Structure formats: C-alpha cells, structure tokens
Structure 1
C-alpha cells in the first residue's frame, strides 16, 4: 500500500494524524480515530448482479474470506460504549483475494452516518483544528456540511450486528463490457436495525457492544447484505457531503457472514492497515479527494502502530 505522491495530500494527512493525537491524547499502538475496535473473520458470497456490474475477483468467486473490524469513534481506546462520542460506529471489510505468495486484498470502509463532515482533506483538517482550539462553533457557523454532520441523529445501536453502515465515497464499477457505473456501498444487517432508547442505554455496561457481539456469535454468524446504491446521471460523485436521493436503485452485491472473533486480536489490530483505495481490477476510486487523504492517514497511523 503506497502513500499518495501529491505533497499537499501528504502534508494534510500528516496534519490530520497530529491534530487527532492532540485531541484524543497519545495512545501508542492504537488508531488516532476509531481506536476501540475488534476484528472478526468470515466469508463473502456474491450475487450474479455483482458479477454483471464489475470484473472484481470477489464478485466472481463462489466465496471469499473476509476480515472485518467493528469500531467506535474517537481516538480513545477505552471509551465507554455508552459515551455518545462513540457514534458513529465503524465497519471495515477486507476481501482476502490471495494469501500466497503475496497478500492481495481490497477493502471497504463504512460508518453508521450516510455522509461525512468535509468534502476534502483541508476542510477536514480545519474542522479538527477548530475542535482542538475551541473555535468549533465559529467553524460550524460557516460550514453547513460539517454542521449537518454534527447535528445528524446518531442513535446507539443495540448491537454492532443491528446497525446499518454506509460507504460515503463514490467508486466506479467496470464490467466485462467496459460499462462504467458509479456506486456507494451500504452494509445492511440481515437481523434488522435495532437501537436503544435513553432508558435502555442507562442499563448498559461500558463494554455492552463488545460483550453482546460475543453472545451473538455464540448462536451463529453475524450476517449483512453488501449493497450498492447506484448513481444516476448528474449525481455528484466527488463530494461525500452530498446525498444521493433515496429513490436511487439499490443492488445487492452479496452476503457477508462473520463467524468468529479473530485470534490474537490486539496484535492483529496493530498490524492491520485498511485501505480506502480499492486497488483491484473492476473497481476504481472516483475523483473524491478524501479517498487519497484517508488512505494516507490510515497508512501513516498504521506505520506508527506497527513501530510500537
């Protein structure tokens, strides 16, 4: 996974890593955001519709091993699950395409709010610097997208397995005929969505999401449908603060079954670096500038974790 070559992207990404460490405090060996998490292993099985949209190998194999990471927001690794700053929750999926002689994979990054707080890296950096300096109210007064993200409803899920997750960036699918289609990912719980009211939340422990996950896995896999929201002509594909209309077609790409917690979880979380750039045939990034910025932030912070 190479760093982007654009010096401006590298400077912005390094600034984001530094300001996030400043906000949440140095926690060596953990991520600067979504620090609290857990890795699971499972299987992905595609639909015929997925194969018709893209030549990506995991859409053409009968099944592909999956590595998944559920997480809570912030860079605080011991944040209570009942703290509202833990929302939105995150879900990263890694499709393990080839193990030997080299590790080949492609990843999807999602969270439980259907858009992001900034359209590009410099705007995201300005947001977090305003948060760090105590000038966030002034910043929000002139940045409506950030204000919409902050004010968006972020309910507490009853389980990681009953939350809906959104890929906020657009990607381009390319099929065998060369037809191109822009999509945004969604990951939808087969068990249905379920959230806690304030009274229910008061009864929960600081680790309720992680404890519930172990209980749920004991009775069977945690299952999601991977879905593509299909863009129409004129839909914005380079700005993740812009919603696509809800009447856009949803195509089921396949089913994700998460079967077990990965062994040696703490060590593997330090090692695993998820990549927002697809880096696989049949799927290309859009012109959304945040994709490269996120990729650089993930790689920089990942190298920090591995060094620890």
Structure 2
C-alpha cells in the first residue's frame, strides 16, 4: 500500500515563496506591494437584503480601500497592462465589518495550497535573476489549470486606470438573506461612469506609475464609483475550485448590493496599519469552502506580523 503523500505547503511557506528572489523591504506586503490607500462611502441598494442580512452590505457605512498592482516589490516599474490589479475594501461599522479582496481576473492561479507553492517555486529566479523557463513550462504542462488566470489577463488587458477596471472576488461565498435562505454568490465590482481615454503622453509613462497618478487626479478632482454586484449561483456550480469560473458566468443573474463612492486619498500608513483580512466577514456572509481561502486568511495574518 503506497504511503500517503504529506502536503508540504503551509501559509508561511507561501509568504516566503512570494518574497523569494525579489528585493522587498521587510515591512512590505508579500503580494500587491505597490498600492494607494483611499477612503469613501458605501450606500446599499434596496435589494441587498434579498441576498444577505450582513449589516456591512445592508447599511450605509464608511469605506477604507486600497488599489494595487500585483507586484511584490513596491518599487517595481510595470511597463505594460498585462498585470493583475487589486481592489481591497472594508465596509461596515466596528462590530459588523467585512473585508473583501477583489482582483482584475475572475480566477486564481492555483486550486490547492500545494499547487500554489509549486507554482511560485517554479518561478523563483535563479542566479542570473530570471526563472528557469523550462521548469516553468514543465510545471504548466503538468498543471494546465494554473494557466487560466494568465490566459484571462492576456485576453483582457487592464484599462489605463483603476477606475475603469472590473474586479472579482474569485471565491464562492455562502450568503444568508433576511429570510434565512443561504446560497452561494461571487462578488463582482464594476465601474460606474464612462471611460476616459488617456492622453498621448500618458501612454509612454510607466503603467504602474500612471495608474497611481491617474487615481490621485480622479479622486482629487471628483469621485470614483463602483457597483458591488452579487453573481448568483446555480445548482452544480463548482464552489471549491478557484481556477475555474462558474458555467456561463458572464451571463449570470446578478443583484446590485450597493455602491462604493471613493471620495478621498488616505496616507498609505492608514491601510498599512492593518491587513484587509479576508476572514473578517460580518454575519450574513460566511467563509468560502475552498482551500485557497482558508490558506489566504492565515497567510495575511503572517504577512502582517512580519511587516510589523
């Protein structure tokens, strides 16, 4: 009888692998290191209680949020828009808070913790400063589902600003409504308002720097609005594999839970003082059942401890 394989991956190992090979200051996030902290308000829709009784989604509140680029190194220069963008936000009051972590692709790059660690280790730079391409190709061939996120990003390059980007929570969240009924939802955060074309001079700027400069300009001259949508499940939907989308996900029934209005900039220290904790969910939104979500909760706590 074969000896069962013992998983080697831990949340701490994931944090180490995210930082491996990168010149990252010790107090910087393990991922999405380059970001901008903002504040605003949340106004619920009149249909929010049909989906969840969570007071963080059914009551007006202040919002603390952070837009970011998927680079570990906060000093990195990103020169194109084939990168992952992040939008983390906190809704609700002190006893009814929810932290939602959303990104510009609807899937994650690994479905298990072991696979995530192997994915990251395959891409750790060698002595020459570059990953072993053959090793990466071999891993991808053996784990084709880890290419789903990269494929989506390649087919859907980011807009030239945070305000025109659509963000997804890749996990399936059990939501319980005011009638006590529970179903799975996925969060989708969609921009409100028309796209503004970049100036010619903007197109030659570093993509990451332009994103942050554009964000500051938009917030100081007006506001930025997003609809927080709940995509509704159907029987048989996969709820534990975050590398795949629900069938026909782009044509799903969706309910607008409310509107986030970004109204001001915050010092980055405001967002850095505490993590946007994915485990922080006000009653009415429960933790997703997938392995990656559980690991993410532990990894964020570890990362916050090392940053302090």
- TM interval, shorter chain, is 0.7 to 0.9
- Number of the residue aligned with 1:5: none
- Cross-structure match for 1:145: 145
Higher mean alpha-carbon deviation, 31-40 vs 209-218, is at 209-218
Distance across 1 between alignment mates of 2:257 and 2:182: 16
TM-score, structure 2 normalization: 0.87
Distance 1:305 1:46, change over 3 A: same
2:171 to 169, 172, 175: 169
What secondary structure does 2:252 align onto? coil
- Report Cα offsets for 1:143-169 as digits up to 9, x if no partner: 111122223325132111011101100
Q: CA deviation at 1:131?
A: 1.0
Is the 8 Å Cα contact of residues 9 and 292 (structure 1) preserved in structure 2?
A: no
- The 8 Å contact of residues 93 and 109 in structure 1, kept in 2 or not, is answered as yes
Following TM superposition, by how much is the alpha carbon of 1:10 offset from its aligned partner in structure 2, in angstroms?
10
Aligned residues, how many? 290
2:263 aligned with 1:259: yes
* Structure 2: distance between partners of 1:269 and 1:97: 16
Alpha-carbon distance, 1:59 to partner: 2.8
1:239 and 2:241 aligned? yes
User: What is the DSSP-based 3-state SS (H/G/I as helix, E as strand, rest coil) of the residue aligned with 1:110?
Assistant: strand
C-alpha distance in structure 1 between counterparts of 2:214 and 2:49, whole Å:
35
Q: How does 1:90-169 map to 2 (within 5 A)?
A: 90-98=86-94, 105-132=97-124, 134=132, 135-152=135-152, 153=154, 154-169=156-171
Unaligned runs of 5+ in 1: 1-7
Which structure 2 residues correspond to residues 1-308 of structure 1 after superposition, within 5 A? 12-61=10-59, 63-84=60-81, 87-98=83-94, 105-132=97-124, 134=132, 135-152=135-152, 153=154, 154-192=156-194, 202-205=203-206, 207-244=209-246, 245=248, 246-262=250-266, 264-265=267-268, 267-306=269-308
- Which residue pairs with 1:3 in the alignment? none
In structure 2, what is the Cα distance between the partners aligned to 1:229 and 1:188? 12
Q: Contact 1:172/1:183 (CA < 8 Å) preserved in 2?
A: yes
CA distance in structure 1 between the partners assigned to 2:242 and 2:197 by the alignment: 25
Matches of 2:91 and 2:188, distance apart in 1: 16
Answer with 146-155 or 71-80: which moved more: 146-155
Native 8 Å contact 1:190 1:224 kept in 2: yes
Give 1:96 shift: 3.7
Partners of 2:55 and 2:92 within 8 A in 1:
no
What TM-score do the two structures reach when normalised by structure 1?
Answer: 0.87
Q: 1:195 to 1:79 in 2, by over 3 A?
A: farther
